[in-house]
Amino acid sequence: MNVGVSRREHWRGRNEIVLKIVGRRLPGPFDFESPSVFPVSRQVRRQPLGYDIRAMLKIIDMEFTERERAEERERVAARERRLVAEAGEATAKFRAIFDQSSIFSGVLSVDGIVVDANRICLEACGYTADDVLGLKFWETPWWRGSEEVKEKIRVATIEAAKGRAYREELPYWCADGSERVVDFAIHPVRDESDEIIFLHPTGMDITERMQTELELRTTRAELEERVRERTAELNKANESLRNLSARLLHIRDEEARRLARELHDSAGQMLSAMAMNIASIASQAHKLDERGAKAMEENSALVEQISTEIRTISYLLHPPLLDELGLRSALTWYVEGFSERSKIKVDLEIAADFGRLSTERETAIFRIVQECLTNIHRHSGSKTAVIRILQENDRLTIVAEDAGKGIPADKLGMRPDGQAGVGFRGMAERLRYLGGNLNLKSNANGSVVTATMPLEADDSSRA
Ligand SMILES: Nc1ncnc2c1ncn2[C@@H]1O[C@H](COP(=O)(O)OP(=O)(O)OP(=O)(O)O)[C@@H](O)[C@H]1O
Ligand SMILES: [Mg+2]
């Protein structure tokens, strides 16, 4: 029993079992029938009654040691098998990912030799492993179509081996000779100690994307071209419309001038003749009866009246003063007549030494003032108006101001859809033709119409 006690100190668990058994069963035979409870050999189990316990413990000890070694060996082997299996599994997973990836992926040694290339690198391009493995990366058939691309790949590989990644969209070639485009990159791969252990080139085929982009760009360029063409056509149409309206305005002015002259020269002259005839009859009025003398007097007054009206109409159509003496006189005459007819007090401000301008400009300015005053009379309700003609820094400005109810907001925009009348649009057209512009300002206290135009060199020559 002493042996058992001393062994307990070293092999506690195991000897406890032994001692328990010894204590329980001594001196009878051991019941070692269940090897799972006490797994010793048949030799121990077959010990007869009255055995030598010391010898038996020695055998047990030996058997345990041997069993333990075997178990240890088995554990090591199992661990090894597990590790190998795990490694195999990991490799298979990596291979599956590597090969089934839709991205070109390869492995290069640090000096640029192709060590591995995934399936898409080979199959999609029509190459076999033999075509590429073992070659310098830049000498592989993917880059065979261009010396420049080969050189780029060579430099990129060397740079990657120095730790610098590289990326560029490059052309590459398939076995059938077709050229495609790849979004190519090459990265260094490092181990735990930060040393570069291999290079990892990757790529994504972007041929279709590039084609779509190209088609889109082409379509867009075509569309832009068409828009440019249409815009040019529209501009041309607008230009010819403007020219037409400028021409129409010019024709209207000429027509007015011709009509004015006609009225003045033919009807006016005839009326003058008629007045002279009436005057000669009047000298013999004593020969007429009372009714005849009255009718003659009335005729004389009527002829006088018609004469005056015809002259007014003729002058309004085209004031002869405009051609003869210029704007200042023509405007002064017109404003006076307007005030008288409309009962609107008009203040005309124009320099006393206002010079002559080209016929075109003088006519335009006269017509603009005429239209402004007509508008004030027809629409504003104002009892006063101010017309200012200013000339400064080679620019002429016409300002027409009233103290009326203001121009309605929708008319202020002068939209070409017919909201504004012919008046404003005609003014704007005249001014545009002469390189100027029209500005309308208005509120509940009145309106200010401002027209400006540049003065040209030829204008001062008539001064
Ligand atoms: N001084 C003003 N005060 C108030 N409203 C004005 C004045 N001038 C113009 N308007 C408004 O602006 C509109 C457009 O004027 P525009 O001269 O273009 O046309 P119109 O006088 O109506 O017709 P048209 O001049 O063709 O005979 C007028 O109908 C009127 O409503
Ligand atoms: Mg008008």
User: Tokens 């001196």 identify what position?
Assistant: 27
For 409-437, the DSSP string reads HHHHT--TTTTS-HHHHHHHHHHHHTT-E
Q: Residue 30's CB: how many other CB atoms inside 10 A?
A: 21
Ligand that lies nearest to the alpha carbon of residue 438, given by its number in the listed order: 1
Distance CA 302, CA 140 (A): 113
Lowest average pLDDT, out of 22-36, 263-277, 287-301, goes to 22-36
Helix (H, G, I), strand (E, B) or coil at 110: coil
Residues 6+ apart with CB under 8 A from 109: 115, 198, 199
Q: Which of 142, 138, 134, 76 is nearest to 104 (CA)?
A: 142
* pLDDT band, very low/low/confident/very high, at 56 (cuts 50, 70, 90): low
Q: Is the per-residue pLDDT at 6 higher than 70?
A: no
Comparing C-alpha atoms, which of 209, 207, 210, 161 is closest to residue 186?
A: 161
204 burial class (0-12, 13-18, 19+ CB within 10 angstroms)? Answer: middle
> Is the predicted pLDDT of residue 218 greater than 90, yes or no?
yes
Atom number, ligand 1, closest to the C-alpha of residue 375: 8
Alpha carbons 248 and 242: distance in angstroms, whole number: 10
Q: What is the pLDDT of residue 25?
A: 38
Q: Are 344 and 338 in contact (CB under 8 A)?
A: yes
Give nearest CA residue, ligand 1 atom 8.
Answer: 375
Around 191, how many Cα atoms within 13 Å sit in the side-chain half-sphere?
6
Q: Which ligand is nearest to the CA of 374?
A: 2
Which pLDDT score is estimated for 26? 35
CA of 263 to the centre of ligand 2 (A): 25
Residue labelled with tokens 């002015």:
253
Q: What 3-state class would DSSP assign to 194?
A: coil
Mean pLDDT of 219-248: 93
Q: Given this chain, do its domains 101-205 and 320-461 carry the same CATH topology?
A: no
Q: Which ligand is nearest to the CA of 400?
A: 1
* 312-335 per-position pLDDT tens digit: 888 888 888 888 889 999 999 999
> Cα of 367 to ligand 2 centre, how many Å?
11
Task: Give the number of other CB atoms < 10 A from CB of residue 305.
Answer: 10
**By three-state DSSP, how is residue 446 classified?**
strand
What residue's CA is closest to ligand 1, atom 3? 380
What is the distance between the alpha carbons of residues 395 and 435, in angstroms, rounded to a whole number? Answer: 11
Q: Provide the percentage of residues in the chain whose pLDDT is more than 70.
A: 84
The domain 320-461 having CATH identifier 3.30.565.10: the answer here is yes
Q: What is the pLDDT of residue 12?
A: 40
Q: Which atom of ligand 1 is nearest to the CA of 422?
A: 26
Cβ burial, residue 156 (10 Å; 0-12/13-18/19+): buried
- pLDDT for 161 equals 96
Indicate whether 347 pLDDT > 80.
yes
Select the more confidently predicted residue: 396 or 285. Answer: 396
Average pLDDT for the chain? 85
Ligand 1 nearest atom to the CA of residue 380, by list position = 3
Other beta carbons within 10 angstroms of residue 344's beta carbon come to 20
pTM above 0.75, yes or no: no
Q: Which residues line ligand 1 (CB under 6 A)?
A: 375-376, 378-380, 402, 404-408, 411, 420-424, 447
> What's the Cα-to-Cα distance from 254 to each of 88, 251, 319, rounded to whole Å?
103, 5, 12
Q: How far is the CA of 8 from the centre of ligand 2 (A)?
A: 128
Q: Closest Cα to residue 18, out of 10, 30, 27, 36? A: 30
101-205 is a CATH 3.30.450.20 domain: yes
**What number does the ligand 1 atom closest to the CA of 404 have?**
3
Instruction: Determine the distance separating the centroid of ligand 1 and the alpha carbon of 382, expressed in angstroms.
Output: 13
The whole-number pLDDT of residue 15 equals: 38
- 90 CA from centroid of ligand 1 (Å): 89
pLDDT of residue 57: 64
Burial 366-390 (b: 16+ CB within 10 A, else e): bbbbbbbbebbbebbebeebbbebe
Write out pLDDT tens, residues 158-198: 999 999 999 999 999 999 999 999 999 999 999 999 999 99
Mean pLDDT for the stretch of residues 218-233:
96
Ligand nearest the Cα of residue 414 is 1
Neighbouring residues of 360: CB distance < 8 A, sequence distance ≥ 6: 250, 434
Percent of the chain with pLDDT over 90: 57
Determine the atom of ligand 1 nearest the C-alpha atom of 425: 18
Nearest CA to ligand 1 atom 20: 421
CA distance 256 to 188: 90
Using DSSP's 3-state secondary structure scheme, residue 40 falls into coil
Which atom of ligand 1 has the smallest separation from the CA of 378? 21
So what's the pLDDT on residue 54? 61
Pocket test for ligand 1, best of 407, 422, 430, 449 (most atoms within 8 A of CB): 407
Q: Considering every ligand atom, which ligand is closest to the CA of 373?
A: 1
Q: What pLDDT is attached to residue 155?
A: 96
Would you list the domain boundaries of the chain? 2-94, 101-205, 222-318, 320-461
- Least confident piece of the model among 35-39, 351-355, 409-413: 35-39
> In the prediction, which pLDDT does 102 show?
87
Q: If you measure from the C-alpha of residue 238 to the centroid of ligand 1, how many angstroms do you get, rounded to a whole number?
A: 24
Q: What is the per-residue burial (b if ≥16 Cβ within 10 Å, else e) of 404-424?
A: bbbbeeebbebeeeeebeebb
Q: What is the pLDDT of residue 126?
A: 95
Which of 245, 374, 379 has the most ligand 1 atoms within 8 A of CB, as the residue to mutate? 379
